[in-house]
Amino acid sequence: MRRAWLCAAILAAMFASAHAEPITLADAIAAVPRAPTSQIAGHDIAAAEALAAAAGAWAAPTARVATNRLTARLVVGASVPLPIFGTVGAARDVATAEAGAVRADAELVRRDLRYRVVVGWIAVARADGEVAALAIGAHEAAELERIARGRLDTGMTGEVDVTVATAARIRADVAVASATRNAEAASAALAGLLGWDPTRRINASGELPTGAPTELAALHDRLAAHPERAAALRKIEVARAEVAQVSAARWPGLFVEGQVSFDDPTLGDPAQKGSSGTDAMIGVALELPIFSHLGDRATAARATEAAQRARLAATEATLGAELVAAYRRWQGARERLVALDHDVVPAQVRASTMSSQAYREGARDLAFALQAERDLTSVQADLNTARADAAVAYADLQVAIGEPPGASGASAR
């Protein structure tokens, strides 16, 4: 009967709000691509790809129209650039590399958003679990108050026990109310990340993923495909393409020029008064990059490439250290969760049950029973916190090995 009451208290706490909507972790993750932040990344990628397509364009041709007072009445000319020395291809390579870097950065933005959504969902689950744990404590306090009143009616105790039990029950009810507000705040924060109505009450549904045991050595190989490393490699490609672009700019620019002069009296037959003629001219022009400081630009481009390679080395070192740190935190959180769940909580439940029964039978005083009830509530809150901490540590571990946060069973493969 007591266990049935406890289950009823947990269910009542979890579904206290009639308008609350149960959301699983998979539901929250599935909503990430539609979140406002994800849309920004999509627009950035579209812009970068459009710029890559535009980078293949030739330089614009020029056209000119002129007239003269003494010679041709109309002069029409045009100049067409011929990018035959690889300048267009170099520009296209730079834009393509930059588009790849934007895609890699967008992947990091989306991964960070997914991580924040996972942590936000865990915060909702933590808050819901806290409400449930405190609801159990409130039920226990109400039960002790009922017992105290029954003992008072039979003359087995005094008014002081009823007063103390009532104060403990009120304190437990206040704690439940406060925890419920915290759960509503966590719900609003998660809704904000996903672009939902923040007044929409969300309950976390389903188990918190805490991962399966695995060895640290089995995780190191995944760092080669880590998104942060991929982004660093993309930036190296951009720097390399910029070096090639500067090298291509050392060649002169070639232009084909043409000109036609109409109604030019200097071209007419001298024997015929007022006669005029038409003439055409075609040639080439070279644009000489002799004052453009290409040497300095090449030095800067090579230095940028070296800096990006140094950043890659620093990123790899950081990722390796973060993996070890995240793995150790996850190990500690999971070991604490297992110990609380398998050893501490069952023992405390038995102690609380025995203390309540002893008080009911008059073998122990109310203070002893209340202390056992408070200890049980505290241990259940510790278990809820430990489960949430292990879930967050597991999400951190998934981020550290470059896998999508919230993916089930990632560390067990």
Q: Enumerate residues 6+ apart whose C-beta is below 8 A from 282.
A: 256, 257, 258, 259
CA distance 206 to 200: 19
Determine the average pLDDT of the residues in 67-87. Answer: 85
Res 295: pLDDT: 84
Instruction: Report the 3 state secondary structure along the chain.
Output: CHHHHHHHHHHHHHCCCCCCEEEEHHHHHHCHHHCHHHHHHHHHHHHHHHHHHHCCCCCCCEEEEECCCCCCCEEEEEEEEECCCCHHHHHHHHHHHHHHHHHHHHHHHHHHHHHHHHHHHHHHHHHHHHHHHHHHHHHHHHHHHHHHHHHHHCCCCCHHHHHHHHHHHHHHHHHHHHHHHHHHHHHHHHHHHHCCCCCCCEEEECCCCCCCCCCCHHHHHHHHHCHHHHHHHHHHHHHHHHHHHHHHCCCCEEEEEEEEEEEEHHHCCCCCCCCCEEEEEEEEEEECCCCCCHHHHHHHHHHHHHHHHHHHHHHHHHHHHHHHHHHHHHHHHHHHHHHHHHHHHHHHHHHHHHHHHHHHCCCCCHHHHHHHHHHHHHHHHHHHHHHHHHHHHHHHHHHHCCCCCCCCCHHHC
Q: Enumerate residues 6+ apart whose C-beta is below 8 A from 102.
A: 44, 45, 47, 48
Res 157: pLDDT: 67
Alpha-carbon dihedral 344, 345, 351, 355, rounded to 10 degrees = 140
Please compute Rg for the chain using Cα positions: 38
What does residue 74 show for φ and ψ, rounded to 5 degrees? -145, 125
Q: Enumerate residues 6+ apart whose C-beta is below 8 A from 298.
A: 243, 246, 247
Of the candidates 207, 407, 216, the residue with the CA atom closest to the CA atom of residue 329:
216
Res 402 pLDDT > 50:
yes
Res 6: pLDDT: 44
pLDDT in tens, 102-121: 999 999 999 999 999 999 99
Stronger pLDDT, 362 or 218, i.e. the higher one: 218
Proportion of the chain above pLDDT 70, given as a percent:
92
pLDDT in tens, 309-353: 999 999 999 999 999 999 999 999 999 999 999 999 898 888 888
What does residue 99 show for φ and ψ, rounded to 5 degrees? -65, -40
Res 269: pLDDT: 67
Structural tokens at position 275? 């006669």
Res 166: pLDDT: 86
Q: What is the CATH number of domain 2-412?
A: 1.20.1600.10
Exposed e or buried b for every residue in 207-240, given b needs 16+ CB within 10 A?
ebbbbeebeeeebeebbeebbbbbbbbbbbbbbb
pLDDT in tens, 356-394: 788 777 777 777 777 878 888 888 888 999 999 999 999
Res 111: pLDDT: 92
> Contact 105/40 with Cβ under 8 angstroms?
no
Res 151 pLDDT > 90:
no
Res 39 pLDDT > 70:
yes
Res 270: pLDDT: 65
Confidence grade of residue 409 (pLDDT, cut at 50, 70, 90): low
Determine the average pLDDT of the residues in 65-85. Answer: 86
> Contact 326/397 with Cβ under 8 angstroms?
yes
pLDDT in tens, 158-191: 778 788 888 888 888 898 889 999 999 999 999 9
Proportion of the chain above pLDDT 90, given as a percent:
35
Determine the average pLDDT of the residues in 222-246. Answer: 91
